[in-house]
Amino acid sequence: MAEIAGRRLAEPVVAETAQPTNDHATMDGYAFAAADDGPLEIVEKAVFPETKPPALEAGRAIEIATGAPLPDRADTVVKREDAVVDGGRLQTPDLAAGTYVYERGSNVEAGERLYAAGDRLTALDAVLLRDLGRESVVVTAPLSVAVLATGTEIHEGRHTDLDSPMLCNLVRSWGHSPSYRRSVPDEGDRVERRIAELASEADVVVTTGGTSVGKKDYVIDALESLGDVVFHRVRIRPGKPIAVARLPDHDALAVAIPGKPIGAYVSAALVARPLFTGDRPTPTLERTITHDIGLGPEGFEYAIPVTLEGDDATPLGHVDSPLAVYEETFDPSVLSSSTRAATADGFVLTTEPLDAGARVHVIPTDSLE
């Protein structure tokens, strides 16, 4: 249970019993039945978390510690600092039944399904799983993912590979095991051969670059030769020329990511992520967009990077932002290459132009990892 963070459940988790199994005090003080008239005689023994509580007769109260089980009949706790005790008797406080009591079965019902297969676990989940009595859970094995950059300029060291480290970190944040397999030049036979080699070693091959229609874009041809391209291009900008292919001879999957770094992030985080994490809803933050934003051709969903401050979402790339790329119309082509856009706090997805002052839903970047 000490190593569950980031892992995904292979089977659902169902509560076998109600939790907690007994009523417990949530404060140090005195336990009693709210219906009893006072003053109440305080019995000699106190109740601690490790002790079995004695029976509590009508008209009596008992000293109790935080986390200790309540005696039968007791349904209320008065904090020690609020208790009025005189001559071994407790003045009945005006408290509703259930005050400072963690009631039996109030946390989890017997038979309740708390986790589904595929749920990603966090450190916080260890609290509930241990409370359910789980010493271990069955999780899925992480995928082995080979990350390969394509491009002669990268292979020969003239350009820095900006995408592969980012993609390795994304894959790792999704609970899988990436390995950086360096680069291959823009030569069709070498691209195909290298993808085939990696597909024989890994569950998934993730390539960067070479997914458009340029003369030296060989990745899609290689995937068509090695297997079946499920799709190529999506209606999102930046990040449009992503592709996914099945490589049946190698029992592997290939994900071809476009080369521009911000487009690579958008296509990986917004399109490819469900392949690694399952189809899980992405949380959003409602904010106010600070500037008018025009869009280019219709028929696309535009991923607009924004920075957040208070209730405001400022489009990063607008001339009034720290990254001056466009003034009126969002420019995904230039912005896709602008590494300063990596400082975005989130993305706004829209198919319609935005007016300054409009309320928008922002997908925080940290929710994509």
Q: Domain-by-domain residue ranges, the chain?
A: 1-18+113-139, 20-106, 144-277, 285-368
Q: Give the separation between CA 224 and CA 192, rounded to whole angstroms.
A: 10
> For the chain, what is the radius of gyration of the CA atoms?
30
Q: What is the per-residue pLDDT across 32-44, written as a single tens digit (0 to 9) for each?
A: 999 998 799 999 8
> Cα–chain-centroid distance for residue 39?
53
DSSP 8-state symbol, 174: T
Query: What pLDDT, in 10s, does the model give residues 261-278?
Result: 999 999 999 999 999 988
- CATH fold group of domain 1-18+113-139: Molybdopterin biosynthesis moea protein, domain 2 (3.90.105)
CATH of domain 144-277: 3.40.980.10
- Mean pLDDT on 234-241: 95
What are the residues facing 318 on neighbouring strands?
A: 316, 326
Q: At what angle do helices 219-226 and 188-199 cross, to 10 degrees?
A: 50
Reading the block at residue 130, the tokens are 């241990």
pLDDT tens-digit readout, 238-250: 999 999 999 999 9
CATH architecture for segment(s) 285-368 = Beta Barrel (2.40)
Query: Which pLDDT band holds residue 92 (cuts at 50, 70, 90)?
Result: confident
Summarize pLDDT for 169-200 with one digit per residue, the tens: 999 999 899 999 999 999 999 999 999 999 99
120 close to 7: Cβ distance less than 8 angstroms:
yes
Summarised one tens digit per residue, pLDDT across range 95-114 is 999 999 999 988 899 999 99
The arrangement of secondary structure in 20-106, i.e. its CATH architecture, is Beta Complex (2.170)
